[in-house]
Structure 1
Amino acid sequence: MEILASRVLFRPKDCARTVAFYRDSLGLAIAREYSGGTVFYAGQTLIEIAGHGAPPDGAPPFPGALWLQVRDLAATQEQLTQRGVTIAREARQEPWGLHEMHVADPDGISLIFVQVPDDHPLRRDTR
């Protein structure tokens, strides 16, 4: 199998509210818009908020999280706070060395903002 492209697709209960969150609260740039949704740039991936195919009432929440690497976690936390975003878990260093902060989108999807320290193994080329 060859994967040519990928993106994260969310089908929120309130599309307009979720688009506003990703566009205005998080400040993500729009890659494209179409009659049924909006696609945002998010680093090396895309996040699509689709207004079609919304989950039925009572559907289980998204079973995972969205991992978003940033250059400066403290600055990101400050920006989000200034935009009125509730920080679910303040920025801190995890036992595995990454600096993480948690936010929830309007549907409760966990967004994990991550800063990779200069000395972390993720920064080293193992080849």
Structure 2
Amino acid sequence: MEIVTSRVLLRSADPEALTDFYRDVLCLPVAREYPGGIVFYAGAGLIEIPAHLAADTPAAGDMLWLQVRDVAAARAELAAAGVPIAAEPETKPWGLIEMTVHDPDGRSLIVVQIPDDHPLRRDLR
């Protein structure tokens, strides 16, 4: 499976306070904001605080966001390797095609394909 990019998602019982900390205390630059969350540049990596996950998930849960070119191919590859698919690929309200698997420690891996017409693919130059 070829990984194109990745980011760390930080879930919090108080995503607003966590956002304030990363933005105002650590002064991380904002990569993008979307309804329900914010993504910060963190050196060569990204840190995302998804407020839409705060209410129904434990604050201590770690997740990895892994962008792939073809989520269906990644699904087939992972299933062939015996990895259970926790959530089948589906287009989310924010326009990304996502599926979820778990690592051996139970950590969620969100495997994401960005459709060609998604705003993340627009050249804003």
Q: Residue 94 of structure 2 aligns with which residue?
A: 96
1:13-41, Cα deviation, whole Å (9 max, x unpaired)? xxxxxxxxxxxxxxxxxxxxxxxxxxxxx
Largest Rg, 1 or 2: 1
Give the match for residue 26 of structure 2.
none
In the other structure, the counterpart of 1:77 is 75
Percent identical residues:
61
* Gap change, CA 1:106 and 1:94, over 3 Å in 2: same
Which structure carries more relative contact order (alpha carbon 8 Å, separation 6+)?
Answer: 2
Residue 121 of structure 1 aligns with which residue?
Answer: 119
Q: After TM superposition, which residue ranges in structure 1, 4 or more long, deviate above 2 angstroms? A: 60-64
In the alignment, residue 73 of structure 2 is paired with which amino acid? A
Q: Deviations over 1:21-66 (max 9, x none)?
A: xxxxxxxxxxxxxxxxxxxxxxx76xxxxxxxxxxxxxx9953310
Q: Distance in 2 between matches of 1:95 and 1:72?
A: 19
Which ranges in structure 2 are unaligned for 5 or more consecutive residues?
1-6, 9-43, 46-57
Deviations 1:76-120 (CA, angstroms, capped at 9, x unpaired): 101111110000000111011000000011111100000000000
The question of 1:63 aligning with 2:52 is answered no
Q: CA deviation at 1:71?
A: 0.4
For the residue of structure 2 that corresponds to 1:68, the secondary structure is strand
TM superposition shift of 1:125 = 2.2
Gaps of 5+ in 1: 1-6, 9-43, 46-59
